[in-house]
Amino acid sequence: MTPVATHCPYCALQCATHLVEQPGALQVRPRDFPTNQGGLCRKGWTAPDVLTAPDRLTTPLVRNADGVLVEASWDTALDFVADRIRSLQLAYGRDSVAVFGGGGLTNEKAYALGKFARVALRTANVDYNGRFCMSSAAAATNRAFGIDRGLPFPLADLGGAGAVLLVGSNLADTMPPAVAHLQSARDAGGLLVVDPRRSATAALSGALHLQATPGTDLALVLSLTHVVLQEGLADTAYLRERTDDPDALIRSTAAWWPERAERVTGVPAATIRRAARVLAAAAPVHGGAGAFILTGRGAEQHSKGTDTVTACINLALALGLPGRLGSGYGCITGQGNGQGGREHGQKADQLPGYRSISDPAARAYVAGVWGVRPEDLPGPGKSAVELINSLGTDAGPKALLVHGSNLLVSAPHLASVRDRLAALDLLVVADVVPSETALLADVVFPVTQWAEEDGTMTSLEGRVLRRRTAVAAPGQVRSDLAVFAGLADRLGVAGFSKDPQEVFEELRLASAGGRADYSGITWDRLDAGEALFWPVPHVEHPGTPRLFADRFATPDGRAQVVPVDHRPVADDLNAGAPMYLVTGRLLQHYQSGAQTRRVPELVEAEPEVFAELHPRVAAQLGIADGRPVRLRTARGSMVLPARVTTDVRPDTVFVPFHFGGVGAVNELTNDVLDPVSGMPEFKACAVQVSAASLPVAEVSA
């Protein structure tokens, strides 16, 4: 087999690889590429194992009268779903059917999913699991800069920086090849890591760890900005020329002197001052090598996540970083197509090209591409958690179609999610393996995965990449595109192609003139090796690796300063729950674990869920390493093995979220939402911790 050039199926780093057929197996070899520089993480090296998972779905399944999922033909399964959709919409209206997508879908699938919801189903009820990932950063950057591209610069720009501030991002575990880009900052003593855990990133040599109390990142960043402004370290000319209201920035941070921030965050005032000075010294205004501020899920998955990211943007503006070569603010996108997945219409309030579905001009243009009347397009729908909470209610959807998401692991407050899914008249899941959500479905469609399909993905940098077919899909597996086309045909709606290149050509047209303009990107250009960062408004355009050099995408071209202030975690500590529960990722696993929990090498390395406890807490409660510990929040209780370590604060319990069933920590997490982004507060809630005599990994209501 000729080596096939493609990209890793996991995170948004989208490491470049070759797939090579060896006797009895498909092997992956890293390619030299600007993001991974010839490296791969353990997940990437073992990615082909998922293609041959023993329980791979290969034929449609339909639940029979006895409640058992049994094999069925594609015609039977598609006919059944289409008939149920018709009857439910006839009885309850168009919005009685909902669609839920995923940030791992290719651009073509994400685009077709949004079009299918609005044209074939004509429902407003469509959203996706990116709402759990990038929504707070997207909301913050849109209101500050007028555009949302995770990194508005190539990742390789970090390579020469004198300082990098990471707020809530553990790159060493989540994107190991990206750590190479931090070497310059590490050598300069300028790697600053904000995390309640001593993560693998915080433990890197050259890193200064700011181990803040969970839920206080906003207060910490306000204090860093206070130091920059009060000590005369700000780029005042930049603030005057490139922001709309520098005085608002000064007013909103005036009260956050480091000693006050120390009382809130637990980070010593001297450490706050040191970090602010290190960051400022690397800024262009002081002749430094360059400085970057990057946020991740640890900062964003809060009910104040949008404001926390806004504070980080304001700090970057104070230092004059955005739009400067070798400096800037960016968000570390998590899911493989988390960037492209939110640009082309599977988000509740968006149309292709990152257009607003409420904009009459956008509706008219996209409706023209789709061959429908603008008035026939639905309006904005509910955000993910709001949509889930409405399922099966009197006024809510009676059917849900899920593509590329495992809600019964990844959503917060899982007992509520389980109840809502059970209340549906129809649950349809398209997946590659029998995930926890698929096992509850009335119909399961087996669909293609990364090495079995062509398409495009968009990396964390906004770089559009080609995914290429290396092997044939097994059994009766079809693409999600074929599912949309098959259902649309049965619903009497034309215009849905199963060919990914044809879908991409339509996506190009639909995105033209939008903020995320792909109209100048062609598969031929991508196959020729061009590095195309959107926007690319015409085929002669070279792409836009760096944004904001001359102006921001706001009406007046200036960045908008949005004053923000700290507020506590929604479910804060109390006498009955005196510690914080935080969740996060492991090096060996990815997202809901539906893929990585089927790779023997990864499972052997991290086979089960656990709770990290500080030794002081473990001693006080009489809990030994490996022994069962009970965690109880306002939403539920679970028992799991303790892992005693000084890597966590004494007031903090850390649990990874990759495990399903009785090991799913999202049984305990809070579904309260950020009022701007709709992001749930995964990252921090009050928890009661006690020794347990029950078997580990037991969950109760």
How is residue 384 written in tokens? Answer: 């993910």
CA dihedral in degrees (457, 458, 463, 468; nearest 10)?
Answer: -10
- The percent of residues above 70 in pLDDT, for the chain, comes to 99
Q: Judge if 499 and 589 occupy the same domain.
A: no
Q: What DSSP element (H or E) covers 445?
A: strand 443-446
Q: What is the pLDDT of residue 220?
A: 98
- By CB atoms closer than 10 A (0-12, 13-18, 19+), residue 266 is middle
Q: What is the pLDDT of residue 230?
A: 97
Residue with tokens 């619903």: 491
* Residue 121 per-residue DSSP state: I
Model confidence at 697: pLDDT above 90: no
* Residue 243 per-residue DSSP state: B
Q: Judge if 403 and 279 occupy the same domain.
A: no
Closest CA relative to residue 116, chosen from 503, 669, 390: 503
Residue at 45 is within a domain: yes
Q: Please name every residue paired with 455 in a beta bridge, in sequence order, or none if there are none.
A: 467
Spatial distance between the Cα atoms of 602 and 605, rounded to a whole number of angstroms: 5
Q: Please name every residue paired with 471 in a beta bridge, in sequence order, or none if there are none.
A: none
How is residue 438 written in tokens? Answer: 């698929």
- By CB atoms closer than 10 A (0-12, 13-18, 19+), residue 576 is exposed
Residue at 563 is within a domain: no
Model confidence at 691: pLDDT above 90: yes
Spatial distance between the Cα atoms of 266 and 252, rounded to a whole number of angstroms: 21
Sign, Cα dihedral of 604, 609, 613, 618: negative
Residue with tokens 């692991």: 409
Q: Judge if 65 and 160 occupy the same domain.
A: no
Residue at 425 is within a domain: yes
Residue at 542 is within a domain: no
Residue at 565 is within a domain: no
CB count, 10 Å around CB of 621? 14
Q: What is the pLDDT of residue 530?
A: 87
- What average pLDDT does range 251-255 have in this prediction? 97
Q: What is the pLDDT of residue 563?
A: 98
Per DSSP, the three-state class of 579 is: strand
Q: Judge if 245 and 370 occupy the same domain.
A: no
The full DSSP string for 446-502 is EB--GGG--EEEE-TTSEEEEE---SPPPTT-B-HHHHHHHHHHHTT-----S-HHH
Q: Judge if 315 and 353 occupy the same domain.
A: no
Residue at 544 is within a domain: no
For residue 44, the domain's CATH number is 2.20.25.90
Q: Judge if 158 and 32 occupy the same domain.
A: no
pTM tops 0.85, yes or no: yes
Q: Please name every residue paired with 426 in a beta bridge, in sequence order, or none if there are none.
A: 399
| Model confidence pLDDT, tens digit, residues 629-675 | 999 999 999 999 999 999 999 999 999 999 999 999 999 999 999 99
Give the number of C-alpha atoms closer than 13 A to the C-alpha of residue 621, restricted to the C-beta side.
Answer: 25
Q: Which of 304, 331, 358 marks a domain boundary?
A: 331
Q: Judge if 309 and 363 occupy the same domain.
A: no
Q: What is the pLDDT of residue 531?
A: 87
- What average pLDDT does range 210-215 have in this prediction? 98
Of 333-347, 358-372, 407-421, the one with minimum mean pLDDT is 333-347
CA distances from residue 285 to 158, 658, 663 in whole angstroms, order as listed: 17, 43, 49
Spatial distance between the Cα atoms of 456 and 471, rounded to a whole number of angstroms: 17
For residue 244, the domain's CATH number is 3.40.228.10
Closest CA relative to residue 602, chosen from 590, 587, 588: 588
- What average pLDDT does range 313-330 have in this prediction? 98
- By CB atoms closer than 10 A (0-12, 13-18, 19+), residue 5 is middle
Q: Which domain holds residue 115?
A: 61-133+346-533
| Model confidence pLDDT, tens digit, residues 116-146 | 999 999 999 999 999 998 899 999 999 999 9
Q: What are phi and psi of 603, to 5 degrees?
A: -65, -40
- What residue type is assigned to position 86 of the chain? R
The average confidence (pLDDT) of the chain is: 96
Q: Judge if 29 and 118 occupy the same domain.
A: no
| Model confidence pLDDT, tens digit, residues 9-27 | 999 999 999 999 887 789 9
Structural domain count of the chain: 4
Model confidence at 700: pLDDT above 50: no
Residue at 548 is within a domain: no
| Model confidence pLDDT, tens digit, residues 397-428 | 999 999 999 999 999 999 999 999 999 999 99
Q: What is the pLDDT of residue 699?
A: 46
Q: Judge if 148 and 114 occupy the same domain.
A: no
CA distances from residue 211 to 306, 329, 648 in whole angstroms, order as listed: 21, 21, 9
CA dihedral in degrees (418, 422, 423, 425; nearest 10)?
Answer: 140
Q: Judge if 157 and 84 occupy the same domain.
A: no
How is residue 323 written in tokens? Answer: 């739009």
For residue 483, the domain's CATH number is 3.40.50.740
| Model confidence pLDDT, tens digit, residues 494-537 | 999 999 999 999 999 999 999 999 999 999 999 998 889 999 99
Model confidence at 349: pLDDT above 70: yes
Closest CA relative to residue 547, chosen from 136, 151, 137, 141: 151
Q: What are phi and psi of 140, to 5 degrees?
A: -70, -45
Spatial distance between the Cα atoms of 420 and 438, rounded to a whole number of angstroms: 15
CB count, 10 Å around CB of 454? 18
Please, which pLDDT band fits residue 698 given cuts at 50, 70 and 90? low
Please, which pLDDT band fits residue 301 given cuts at 50, 70 and 90? very high
| Model confidence pLDDT, tens digit, residues 511-523 | 999 999 999 999 9
Q: What is the pLDDT of residue 15?
A: 96
Q: Judge if 144 and 219 occupy the same domain.
A: yes
Residues 181, 15: contact at Cβ < 8 Å? no
Q: What is the pLDDT of residue 233?
A: 98
- The percent of residues above 90 in pLDDT, for the chain, comes to 96
Q: Judge if 207 and 317 occupy the same domain.
A: yes
CB count, 10 Å around CB of 198? 17
Model confidence at 701: pLDDT above 50: no
Please, which pLDDT band fits residue 202 given cuts at 50, 70 and 90? very high
Residue at 276 is within a domain: yes
